[in-house]
Amino acid sequence: MTTMTETASGLREFKMPDVGEGLTEAEILKWYVKAGDTVSDGQVVCEVETAKAAVELPIPFDGVVHELRFPEGTTVDVGQVIIAVDVNGGAAPAASVAEAQAPAASAPAAGSAEAAPAERTEAPPEKAAASEEKPKPAGRTPVLVGYGVSESSTKRRPRRGVPAQQPEAAAAKVAVQSELNGHGHAAPAARPLAKPPVRKLAKDLGVDLATVTPSGPDGIITREDVHAAVAPAAPVQETPATAAPASAPAPVRAPAPVATYDGARETRIPVKGVRKATAAAMVGSAFTAPHVTEFVTVDVTRTMKLVEEIKRAPDTYGLQGLRVNPLLLIAKALLVAIKRHPEVNASWDEANQEIVQKHYVNLGIAAATPRGLIVPNIKDAHAKTLPQLAESLGELVATARDGKTSPVAMQGGTVTITNVGVFGVDTGTPILNPGESAILAVGSIKLQPWVHKGKVKPRQVTTLALSFDHRLVDGELGSKVLADVAAILEQPKRLITWG
């Protein structure tokens, strides 16, 4: 999708890019520039929050800020223009000069003047068209978040100054849309443009995308288009003609409860950003994957002693300068258990009716941040040594706390750990992260009376809870994985013999 457009007056417009896979909107958190500021290629102009993370957006060209299209706090759809920049450096646009000199009666000449800078208005239209097709010299390719540096094969849009094709193009577009809506022969010509979430919505609602009229930028079908395609099938249209007049006042009373809202005693918070994504993901997971949760209470006294021993002499274990805590050993214990039972590390492919076995582990760590719950993951955690795992875990936590976790860091997870014990909670029944097979909840570690070597002694005890997708993991497999994690934490020497 094109993220830059150039207007006749020398203004270049920058559109909200898709900064992550399948994202459809982002909230503008902060503007770093204002109208009249000079910007350069690669300069960060704003910070936006998507459903996954906060991201800074750089501008891909030089100029003077002409206009900020949206204030801070506004949620903007991907593809909408968010900032306009005067690439002429704030000088009088060349198009204005050309329009003043061109005869008012000559529409084609005026159109050409609008499309080209002043130094090119003298040239005949044939030369202007020829110069348009000349390749630009190779130079630095601006790199935005979510964009690559490869050359685009997309052809440039025709200039506004070519009036001969505009009516035909408009008529062709109307004809195509009318054929689409009328189930005509134009539908099979090309695959409708729509993002994966929109395609899934259409599939769930039974809507053929080939019959939907797109309203998004560049002919992309949006969620609203799919819902609009379903609307005519509802009986609402027939109600005025068939129902008795007495039934008409009934729907009018529906909005009445809204008027009872007491602003002095209640606060309404818009659901957006990370919270909106979390809500959708949890609902989708809870009602898609059949959850099973198993629990085990375990004596982790030896693990806690090992943590303290490593802290006292980190050089002995190659962990100097790295943060060592119980979560590190719990993560390593889970990775060893997965190695012993690799079938647990899988995902369910509904479309192809297949179970996808993962030969790698991207270990997710649930992190509470000011913007809400996020689950970044450590890529290829199964191949990391204990020092490497400690380093990755420290970087992940620090990045999450600073709110700088990238969308890529939250994609592709296979299993997750959530440490609810830091809040003083004994355990919980965690919900699976969408697309993952299991999630381990770790409760708080407390001194409790425990039978140890035939005597009741105070020991450090915690409760583990493992939720798993019962389509992928049966009770036996889930129990073995949880039992292995508990056994390692009870006797951490098993990390050597089992790992």
Residue at token pair 């801070």: 72
User: Nearest 5 degrees, angle CA 303-CA 436-CA 49?
Assistant: 100
3-state secondary structure the chain: CCCEEECCCCEEEEECCCCCCCCCEEEEEEECCCCCCEECCCCEEEEEECCCCEEEEECCCCEEEEEECCCCCCEEECCCEEEEEECCCCCCCHHHHHHHHCCCCCHHHHHHHHHCCHHHCCCCHHHHHHHHHCCCCCCCCCCCCCCCCCCCCCCCCCCCCCCCCHHHHHHHHHHHHHHHHCCCCCHHHCCCEECHHHHHHHHHHCCCHHHCCCCCHHHEECHHHHHHHHHHHCHHHHHHHHCCHHHCCHHHHCCHHHHHCCCCCCCCCCCCHHHHHHHHHHHHHHCCCCEEEEEEEEECHHHHHHHHHHHHCHHHHCCCCCCCCHHHHHHHHHHHHHHHCHHHCEEEECCCCEEEECCCCCEEECEEECCEEECCEECCHHHCCHHHHHHHHHHHHHHHHCCCCCHHHHCCCCEEEECHHHHCCCCCCCCCCCCCCEEEEECCCEEEEEEECCEEEEEEEEEEEEEEECCCCCHHHHHHHHHHHHHHHHCCCHHHHHC
Q: For 408, list phi and psi in degrees, rounded to 5.
A: -65, -35
Q: Give the Cα separation of 395 and 376 in Å (integer).
A: 11
User: Nearest 5 degrees, angle CA 437-CA 440-CA 446?
Assistant: 175
Residue at token pair 């006292």: 312
Q: Give the Cα separation of 407 and 55 in Å (integer).
A: 9
State the catalytic residue, choosing from 227, 341, 382, 470: 470
Do 329 and 492 contact (CB within 8 A), yes or no?
yes
Query: Is 359 designated active site?
Result: no
Q: Give the Cα separation of 138 and 287 in Å (integer).
A: 51
Q: Give the Cα separation of 333 and 338 in Å (integer).
A: 9
Active site residues: 470
